Amino acid sequence: MSSWRGRATTRAFVGGALLLALCVAGVAASVPEWANSNSPVRSGESSHAGELAAAATSFATSAAQPTPLLSGLTAASTPPSSGPTASDSPSPGPTTSATGTDRVIEPVRTFISRPWLAWRPSGRGVVWMMELPAPWNDPSATTENISVYVPPGYNPNGSRRYPVLYEAPFDYDLWDTSIHFKSVLDPLIDNGTVPPMIVVFINAWRAPIYDTECANSVDGRQWMDTFISKTVVSYVDAHYRTIAQADARAFFGFSQGGYCAAILTLLHPSVFTTGISFSGYFRAGLGDESAKLPFGGDAAALDAASPVVVAAELPPASRAALLFIVVAKPSEPFFGTGAVEFEQVLDTEGYGYVALNSTTGHGWDQVRLELPAALEAWAARLVSVGVF
């Protein structure tokens, strides 16, 4: 496991009100210049060659004998009964249908192998939507929806298996509207920048306590943490061709989702081993008052759900297995300063992390610009631990 410490750029959403204020318009996606000579880098495009190279070099030297994770997998399971339609976009409503210090050195691709180039697919990914039983006791809504992106070349009856990236609490529609998610990820896979992957979007906005913070509420009314870490992961492993190993799973998110990525990785190191936070916050209950509701405003419950607290309490063996990719603008009040505090805790407590310092503050522009670098960092991690 890497002990490298770095820094880079980005930070995300706090509560429901801030979400509505910031998620106004979609942003065009872009592809790194090196990946396609016909696609120049757009104005303002972020580059993290130094951070990624340093991380990849450290990953390579710290994983001399990675454990192969592709052996011993169970036979293919049945794909979802509701396959993709001709449209790549999910239905708009509930359905069951298809749909630190910056360094300037060579890019990460110079230092790591990319084994997936031998079977690099091309084309377009597809998004499936489905309903699962709701993780709360309330008659107002009895189901919760998730969306599953499957990459170009995905064959539900094939032999190839894929790493899985999970996201909450925002649904696929918001990611599609805000950054045109497929238009960002499809070219990264087609060009071999990152391996083909499955991406799961978990909508958490139907809950009675709508600002779920991805938590099991202290009053027992809803259990979003359990839904995400057990119900959804088990469902996806049973119905899609996943690499069903913790080292092949990551959790990512923006703003409140950045908080979710950090805390769920820390609370469930046997499920997720990489947390990718875009402009997240790292103390539970920050932001508007709705963020405190799942915890009942109780100080002990808030501490038990705060990444900066929990990170110092994990046993050393669990710490060594985890990687955090922290994206933020360090000088930005709240999101930037909170990210720096979290990075200092990670450094002190011996975690591996990659800090991507963004010149763009909290917002979807930051996510669009920094997502390629964050996924490259995860790809380097996947190689280093033997997933590929």
pLDDT in tens, 178-188: 999 999 999 99
Name the more confident of 35 and 326: 326
In one letter, which amino acid is 302?
Answer: L
- 8 located within any domain: no
Dihedrals phi, psi of 354, to nearest 5 degrees: -120, 120
Contacts 24+ apart (CB under 8 A), 61-69: 62/1, 62/2, 62/3, 62/4, 62/384, 63/1, 63/2, 63/384, 63/385, 63/386, 66/384, 66/385, 66/386, 67/385, 67/386, 68/386, 69/243, 69/245, 69/247, 69/248, 69/385, 69/386, 69/387
Rounded Cα gap, residues 29 and 168, in angstroms:
21
Residue 2 lies in a domain: no
| pLDDT for 205 | 82
Residue 103's pLDDT band (boundaries 50, 70, 90)?
very low
**More confidently predicted of 144 and 20:** 144
The pLDDT assigned to 141 comes to 87
pLDDT of residue 5: 35
> Tokens for 321?
């297995």
Q: How far apart are CA 99 and CA 127, in angstroms?
A: 5
| Cα–Cα dist 78/192, whole Å | 28
Q: What is the pLDDT of residue 25?
A: 33
Q: Is residue 70 part of a domain?
A: no
The average confidence (pLDDT) of the chain is 78
Distance CA 109, CA 91 (A): 37
8 A C-beta contact, residue 126 and residue 158 = no
Contact present, 211 and 294 (Cβ < 8 Å): yes
**Is there a domain that residue 309 lies in?**
yes
Considering its fold, how many domains does the chain have in total?
1
Q: In the chain, what percentage of residues exceed pLDDT 90?
A: 66
Asked if residue 10 is part of any domain, the answer here is: no
**Is residue 229, in this structure, part of any structural domain at all?**
yes
Residue range 327-351, pLDDT digits in tens: 999 999 999 999 999 999 999 999 9
Interatomic CA distance for residues 279 and 320, integer angstroms: 24
CATH code, domain carrying 291: 3.40.50.1820
Tell me, yes or no, whether 4 lies in a domain. Answer: no
pTM attached to this predicted model: 0.78
Q: Is the Cβ–Cβ distance between 122 and 153 less than 8 Å? A: yes
Nearest-10 crossing angle of helices 364-384, 172-179: 110
For the sheet with 352-357, list strands across it: 126-133, 143-150, 198-202, 164-167, 249-254, 274-278, 323-328, 352-357
Q: Is 341 exposed, middle or buried (0-12, 13-18, 19+ CB in 10 A)?
A: middle
Tell me the average pLDDT across 164-191.
Answer: 96
Tell me the mean pLDDT in the region 161-178.
97
Distance CA 197, CA 203 (A): 19
Q: Which domain holds residue 124?
A: 16-36+45-62+81-384
Q: Tokens 């943490």 identify what position?
A: 225
Report percent pLDDT > 70 for the chain.
71
Q: In this structure, what token pair is assigned to residue 368?
A: 């669009």
188 within a domain of the structure (yes/no): yes
Q: pLDDT for 229-249, tens place per residue?
A: 999 999 999 999 999 999 999
